[in-house]
Chain A
Amino acid sequence: MKIQPIMKVRRLSIDIPVPNGVLHAVKDVSFDLAKGQTLCIVGESGSGKSMLALGMIGLLPHQARLFAEELSFDGIDLQNLSRAKLTQIRGSRIAMIFQEPMTSLNPCYTIGNQMIEMASLHLKMRRSDAHDLAGQWLEKVGIPAASDRLNQYPHQLSGGLRQRVMIAMMLMCGPDLIIADEPTTALDVTIQAQVLGVLASLQKELGLSMIFITHDLGLVSRIADQVGVMYAGSFVEYGSVQDVLDAPQHPYTQGLLKCIPGFLERSTNGRLGTIPGTVPSLVGNTVGCTFSNRCFRATDECFVGADPEPKIAAKHDVRCFFPGPPSTTEESDV
């Protein structure tokens, strides 16, 4: 019997009208997220990863348009849900953790106030019960002297502590899914390790599913079960983390791994690999594969027709007309 994945997305696209046409921020993204698993969405800036995350829970700017063949969370169709129901699900069943906690936490109110507010709203608790729960959760995320902290304001806390508070606040209401958008990018590296440790252990303890958006492939390799590599709005490669990172089949992923200092064991005479060219404009329709203008193995076929549909290569999905292992000859770099 196949267990229903907690998140099912089929062919999700997001379009945004801009002065000179339509910007295709996300194109045809599909994935399944099983319960308790972590999906990492990896991409550089402009890849559409944040848009994808916002789109999944209905937080897109009002002029953006989302279409998907399927977008369901635990069987609930998120596309056709009323605003009210969506808002309810957002707080109680899907938690969102952003990069900069200062903007998610209201600087005018104490931590305690905000946490109690959250609990009262979603869990319909009495304030005193909510207060106790807040204290328990602060301890759970590793913040001692919880009662003192509850009376502090966000600016009195360091970045790492604020993120822990965010995690506590979001998990307090017992969600099933966490969507985290670069939650530790703005933190120091030692703090990052600590905060991620807290998140990972809580996830395990509570059996939560997680969609984690980042640009850091090292992070991905450590926490992901599944990974989707995003480029110019689509998943160019998607599969289990071992398959994708140990045996990448798409030239973009291969190029990316070579760019990162220290990622691959070998290094070519001290120089880093590069991906020549720049990301093409996402406005208007593209001809051929979106990556073709930067691809070292592009042939004439790659420049015509539509974007390649995902096909299976090395046990995972790849959007490439010619997926294959990294070439052993040196590609030119700039």
Chain B
Amino acid sequence: MVQVQSKKNAEVEVSPSKIIRRRILAHKGIILGCFLLLIIILMAALAPVLAPHDPYHQVLLNRLKPPFWMTGGSWTHPLGTDHLGRDYLSRLMYGAQISLLIGLATALISGCIGVFLGLVAGYFGGRIDQLVMFLVTVKLSVPTILVALAVVQLVGGSLEVVILVLGMLLWHQFTVVTRSVTMQIRDMDYVTSARTIGLSAMRILFTEILPNISNQIIVVVTLTMASAIVIEAALSFLGVGIQPPLPSWGIMIAEGKEHIFFRPWLVLIPGTALLILVLGINLLGDGIRDVTVPGGRS
């Protein structure tokens, strides 16, 4: 029997990560989102190196200098100075650190809480599911900003407090998504097989189910980051978040609001930075969701 392997038989066998990589590179939203996000990340990372001045250094003689593209501006302070003479570019760059930190830390805390609750609710069902959904309903009826306000008033505002409070208030989206996807997966044969093999429920949740829902969770991470960043900016704007002189973008907007008519850049610059960051995160999240949608078997 003649057995010649004809070359048409060579099916290209592509690993799942390669497929995803291919789709990522082709997705415009992800590229744009990454680009925007990268700008902000670089700003934050390189702040200690590239910031021209100390963001806390006040020079009252130099107050309210305009950015370089306007008359009266100069390259010593490329984005001008604020009402206390502090360099705006430096404050913006250090502010990026704060925003990113808030976003990531909050997503981490709320993610841990939310995903855990979602996993157990989706997998065990019954009473546990009812309990978790009750908690979610309660959480949803709680007005996030008001509670944040109240807590901060009681405990005092600071970076750590804001992170903790937001972490406790933003987990519901994780729970809802995790729960629904877990419910879809728990009846899959590979989960039943894991039970036949004798794995404990917890082990199944973390080694069989969790890796298969990571795509959806990443999307929620991006959404939560964006929410956290915006809420923090709002809290700081209201004076109940991070306290000055920390260069949070929210504080910068707050401090600039008195001058909004004659020196709009004081508000527009941190506002634009916020916009770029949140837009980048959201584009990335949407893009990841598009790219990891099932229906792309090799």
Contacts and interface: CB of A to CB of B under 8 A. Distances in A.
Q: Do A and B come into direct contact in the complex, CB within 8 Å? A: yes
A286 B3 CA distance: 16
A296 B3 CA distance: 9
A293 B9 contact: yes
Interface string A106-148: 0000000000000000000000000000000000000000000
Interface string A316-334: 0000000000000000100
A300 B3 CA distance: 10
Interface string A253-296: 00000000000000000000000011011001011100011001
A323 B12 CA distance: 32
A278 B8 contact: no
Given A20-B12, A281-B11, A293 B2 contact: no
Contacts of A288: 6
B12 A292 contact: no
A67 interface: no
B7 interface: yes
Interface residues of B, number: 12
Contacts of B5: 293
B8 A287 contact: yes
A52 to B, nearest CB: 21
A287 B6 CA distance: 8
A292 B9 CA distance: 11
B293 interface: no
A299 interface: yes
A298 interface: yes
Interface in B1-29: 1-12
Contacts of A153: none
Question: Do most interface residues of chain A lie in helix, strand or loop, or is the interface mixed?
Answer: loop
A299 B6 contact: no
Contacts of B8: 280-281, 284, 286-287, 293
Contacts of A284: 8
B143 to A, nearest CB: 37
Interface of B: 1-12
Given A286-B6, A293-B6, A300-B2, 11 more contacts: A20-B12, A280-B6, A280-B9, A281-B10, A287-B6, A287-B8, A292-B6, A293-B8, A293-B9, A303-B4, A332-B1
Closest 10 CB pairs of A and B: A280-B8, A280-B9, A293-B6, A286-B8, A281-B11, A293-B9, A298-B2, A281-B8, A303-B4, A296-B1
